Amino acid sequence: MATQVAKRVNRGKRIVSHIGLGQMIAKDWKRNKYVYLMLLPVIIYYLVFHYGPMYGVIIAFQDYSITKGVWGSPWIGLENFQQFFSGFHFSRTVINTLAINVIDLLFGFPAPIVLALLINEIHLNPFKRLVQTITYMPHFVSVVVVVGILVDFLARDGVINNVLVVILGISPTAFLQQPEWFRWLFVGSGVWQHIGWGSIIYLAAISAIDPEQYEAAMLDGASRFQQIRHVTLPGIMPTIIILLILRVGNMMTVGYEKILLMYNPMTYETADVISTYVYRQGILQADYSFSAAVGLFNSVINFGLLIFANWFSRRVSETSLW
């Protein structure tokens, strides 16, 4: 039945393709003119606010000044890029960006998967819902407040130090002033904030697993742990892989919002990432062309990583974004 319909649709398409393109457009316009009218503001929005900056990024190859504009500023080729690659900020920001991402990939990425598997093993529904409601909560707290809490709790006279002093008898540490703590605090607070929210997508994938698979596993005498390993985990593997591809595509990005709030000159050596460097150079120092070049370098690397991760995954696991 379904294949018949598909055949008919295909035949229909072939017939349509014999009509000229002009006629097709005319027919489509007649049928969908209101739809295109609806799309108009949306398309304008994407052209202006997404494709506009993609055009504007050509200032990365110029010695841009606001008074001369994009049209009047002189072209300088790859000079801005060379300047970035030869400066000492290049290795520092790239290493910091990668370090934070690697730590996050190792701890931040699996955490919601583990939580979803564990939540799925709760069979008392009210308790399950309570766990979910509470773990979703920090996701709705603003990043300003989260960093505000960190600043307060981790201060020399904050709760964490008070407790550590009493339990371990060590002298208080100003955690946010020490470079060696920064990455862990950044990733750790991220896990605290988003572990629950991140688990939703995996719980959704788990709920799509056929219950018969569990029944079969139980008939074979599988324990709950074995069921997780041999039924649940394989069942959500495609979801994990898709999210992993997207995650790898962001290996060279760390959002500037939280770091800008969390870091200070004392922790720059581990905390300063590409995006925060772009922010300081571009917005604070108004060195537009140079920071646009740094930003473009970052975008291109990210896009390349995404394509590579997708290609690799399609090769190895047959799951891919496209």
Partner 1 sequence: MRHKGGFGDLLFGVANTLLMVGLMIVTLYPLLHIAFASVSDPATLMQYRGILLKPLGFTLEAYRRVLDNPMIMIGYRNTLFYVIVGTALNLVMTTLGAYALSRRNLLFKNVIMLMILFTMFFSGGLVPTFLLVGITLNMMDTPWALIVPAAISTYNLIIMRTAFEAVPVALEEAARIDGANDFQILWRVYLPVCLPTLAVMTLFYAVAHWNSFFSAMVYLRSRDLYPLQLVLREILITNSTDVMLTGISQTDAMPIGETIKYATIVVATLPILCVYPFLQRYFVKGVMIGAVKG
| Residues 200-219 interacting with partner 1 (rule: CB under 8 A) | 200-201, 203-205, 207-208, 214, 218
User: Among 223, 217, 219, which residue's Cα sits nearest to residue 235?
Assistant: 217
Q: Please list every residue from 221 through 260 that binds partner 1, using CB under 8 A.
A: 223-225, 227, 239, 249, 256-257, 260
Place of tokens 């504009």: 69
Binding span for partner 1 by CB under 8 A among 75-83, 89-97, 125-133, 177-185: 125-133
303 binds partner 1 (CB under 8 A): yes
Query: Minimum distance between the CB of residue 237 and partner 1, rounded to whole angstroms?
Result: 14
* Residue 288, both tokens: 């537009």
Q: Which of 96/239 has CB closer to partner 1?
A: 239
User: Smallest distance from the beta carbon of 69 to partner 1, in angstroms?
Assistant: 9
149 touching partner 1, by CB under 8 A: yes
By CB under 8 A, tell whether 19 contacts partner 1: no
Cβ atoms < 10 Å from Cβ of 105: 17
In whole angstroms, how close is the CB of 293 to partner 1 at the nearest point? 9
Identified binder of partner 1 from the candidate list 62, 279, 309, 313, rule CB under 8 A: 279
Which helix H or strand E contains 82, and what residues bound it?
helix 79-86
Q: If you ran DSSP here, which 8-state letter would residue 48 be given?
A: I
Where in 169-188 is the site for partner 1 (CB under 8 A)? none
Binding mask 32-71 for partner 1 (x = CB under 8 A): x-xxx-xx-xxx-xx-xxxxxxxxxx-x------x-----
How many Cβ atoms sit within 10 Å of the Cβ of residue 110? Answer: 12
Q: Taking the complex as a whole, how short is the minimal distance between the CB of residue 181 and partner 1, in angstroms? A: 17
Q: Of 101, 97, 150, nearest to 277 (Cα)?
A: 97
Task: Report which DSSP code applies to 109.
Answer: T
The minimum distance between CB 146 and partner 1, in angstroms, equals 9
Q: Does 309 bind partner 1 (CB under 8 A)?
A: no
Stretch that binds partner 1, among 86-94, 100-108, 301-309, 312-320 (CB under 8 A): 301-309
247 vs 102: CA distance, rounded Å? 11
What stretch of H or E contains 248?
A: helix 233-248
Distance CA 251, CA 302 (A): 7
Q: State the DSSP code for 8.
A: H
Selected binder of partner 1 within 10, 23, 28, 180 (CB under 8 A)? 28
Full 3-state SS string of 209-222? CCHHHHHHHHHCCC
Which listed range, 87-95, 100-108, 265-273, 287-295, lies at the site for partner 1 (CB under 8 A)? 287-295
159 near partner 1, judged by CB under 8 A: yes
Q: Which stretch binds partner 1 (CB under 8 A): 72-80, 89-97, 102-110, 148-156?
A: 148-156
Residues 70-99 that bind partner 1 (CB under 8 A): none
Out of 282, 301, 314, 317, the residue judged to bind partner 1 by CB under 8 A: 282
Q: Which of 206, 190, 192, 199 is nearest to 116 (CA)?
A: 199
81, 85, 90, 153: which one binds partner 1 (CB under 8 A): 153
Cβ count near 275 (within 10 Å): 21
Q: What are phi and psi of 58, to 5 degrees?
A: -60, -15
Distance CA 285, CA 280 (A): 6
